[in-house]
C-alpha cells in the first residue's frame, strides 16, 4: 500500500478550478517528481497537500498512511509526517536559526491534545550538531537570525536542515522556476539525496528538468492543466528537456537546462 494516495482530487481557488482530477500514489521511501508548464497547478497541489486555506477541495481524497489528510489542520499534517518546504521562506529577525528549529521540533513533539513535551537543550544541541555535520553546514549559521539577509542558497540550507531534523516521512518540495540558482539547486539536491531513503519519500515539484540531473526520481509525472497527463521513469526527464511540453499540447520553449 502506498504511503500517500491521492484520488480524483479537484481543487479551486477563488472559484476557479485548478486541479481537475489528480490521481497519485507515492510508496514509502520513493522519490517522485512532478513537472509541468507554468500555471499547470504544481504549486496548487503542494498547497492543497499542506492545507493552505485559500484553496478549496471540491472532490476527491488524500490519504497518508491510512489517515484522511483533508480532515486535518496544516500543523496536524506536519505532525503526521508530511513536510512542505516553503518556496518563499520568510525572514524572522530576532529569531535565530537554532531557536526556530527548536520551536519546530517542539511543535512536532506536542501531542494531539496540544500537550507540550519540549526537547531538552542538550538533546536538541546534539540533534542539531549531528544534522549539521551530515549536511556539512557551518556552525555559524545557527546563531544568525532566520533568513535575515540570507542568500537563496542559505535559505535552502536552513530548509534542508529543518527537514533533516524533523525527518518527515514525506517531504514535498516546490521549487519555483525563478530563485533557484545553481548553488541552491546543489544544496537542495545534495540534501535530498542524503536524506531520502527507506523512511523518507520525496515529492519534488519543478518546472525545470535540470533539477533532475541532480535528484534522480524513481517516477516522474507530468502535470498539464490540472491533470496528470503522463507518468514515467527517469528517462522522461531527458525527453522533456529535449522536447519541452510540446507533446502535451503546450506551446513552450524546450525546458531550459541551466
Contact footprint for ligand ADP (CB under 6 A): 13-14, 16, 18, 36, 38-44
86 contributes a contact to Mg ion by CB under 5 A: no
CB of 224 to ligand ADP, least distance (A): 10
Contact 222, 35 (CB under 8 A): yes
CB of 82 to ligand ADP, least distance (A): 18
Q: At what angle do helices 152-166 and 121-134 cross, to 10 degrees?
A: 120
The one of Mg ion, ligand ADP, none whose footprint includes residue 44, by CB under 5 to 8 A per kind, is ligand ADP
The one of Mg ion, ligand ADP, none whose footprint includes residue 95, by CB under 5 to 8 A per kind, is none
| Site size for Mg ion (CB under 5 A) | 2
CB of 232 to ligand ADP, least distance (A): 19
The one of ligand ADP, Mg ion, none whose footprint includes residue 51, by CB under 5 to 8 A per kind, is none
| Rounded Cα gap, residues 83 and 166, in angstroms | 8
CB of 153 to Mg ion, least distance (A): 20
Radius of gyration of the chain, Cα coordinates, nearest whole angstrom: 18
In terms of CB distance, is 13 or 57 closer to ligand ADP? 13
The one of ligand ADP, Mg ion, none whose footprint includes residue 40, by CB under 5 to 8 A per kind, is ligand ADP
Cα atoms found within 13 Å of the Cα of residue 176, Cβ hemisphere only: 9
The one of Mg ion, ligand ADP, none whose footprint includes residue 81, by CB under 5 to 8 A per kind, is none
> Which residues lie closer than 8 Å to 249 by C-beta, 6 or more apart?
224
Between strands 31-35 and 219-224, the pairing is: parallel
CB of 87 to Mg ion, least distance (A): 7
Binder to Mg ion among 5, 43, 169, 231 (CB under 5 A)?
A: 43
- Other beta carbons within 10 angstroms of residue 105's beta carbon come to 18
In terms of CB distance, is 39 or 232 closer to ligand ADP? 39
In terms of CB distance, is 47 or 155 closer to ligand ADP? 47
CB of 14 to ligand ADP, least distance (A): 4
The site for Mg ion (CB under 5 A) is made up of: 42-43
Amino acid at each position: 500500500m502506498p504511503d500517500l494516495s491521492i484520488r480524483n482530487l479537484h481543487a479551486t481557488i477563488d472559484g476557479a478550478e485548478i486541479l481537475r482530477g489528480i490521481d497519485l500514489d507515492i510508496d514509502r521511501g520513493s522519490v517522485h517528481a512532478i513537472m509541468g508548464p507554468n500555471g499547470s497547478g504544481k504549486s496548487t497541489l503542494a498547497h492543497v497537500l499542506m492545507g493552505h486555506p485559500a484553496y478549496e477541495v471540491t472532490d476527491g481524497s488524500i490519504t497518508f498512511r491510512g489517515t484522511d489528510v483533508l480532515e486535518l489542520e496544516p500543523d496536524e499534517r506536519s505532525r503526521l509526517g508530511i513536510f512542505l518546504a516553503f518556496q518563499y521562506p520568510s525572514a524572522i529577525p530576532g529569531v535565530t536559526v537554532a531557536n526556530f528549529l527548536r520551536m519546530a521540533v517542539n511543535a512536532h513533539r506536542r501531542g494531539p491534545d496540544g500537550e507540550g513535551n519540549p526537547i531538552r537543550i542538550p538533546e536538541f544541541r546534539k540533534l542539531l550538531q549531528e544534522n549539521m555535520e551530515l549536511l556539512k553546514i557551518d556552525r555559524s549559521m545557527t546563531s544568525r537570525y532566520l533568513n535575515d539577509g540570507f542568500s537563496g542558497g542559505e535559505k535552502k540550507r536552513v530548509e534542508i536542515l529543518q527537514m533533516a531534523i524533523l525527518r518527515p516521512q514525506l517531504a514535498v518540495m516546490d521549487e519555483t522556476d525563478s530563485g533557484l540558482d545553481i548553488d541552491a539547486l546543489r544544496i537542495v539536491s545534495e540534501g535530498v539525496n542524503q536524506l531520502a531513503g527507506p523512511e523518507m519519500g520525496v515529492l519534488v515539484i519543478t518546472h525545470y528538468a535540470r533539477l533532475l540531473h541532480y535528484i534522480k526520481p524513481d517516477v516522474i509525472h507530468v502535470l498539464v492543466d490540472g491533470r496528470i497527463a503522463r507518468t514515467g521513469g527517469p528517462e522522461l526527464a531527458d525527453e522533456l528537456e529535449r522536447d519541452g511540453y510540446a507533446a502535451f499540447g503546450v506551446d513552450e520553449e524546450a525546458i531550459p537546462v541551466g
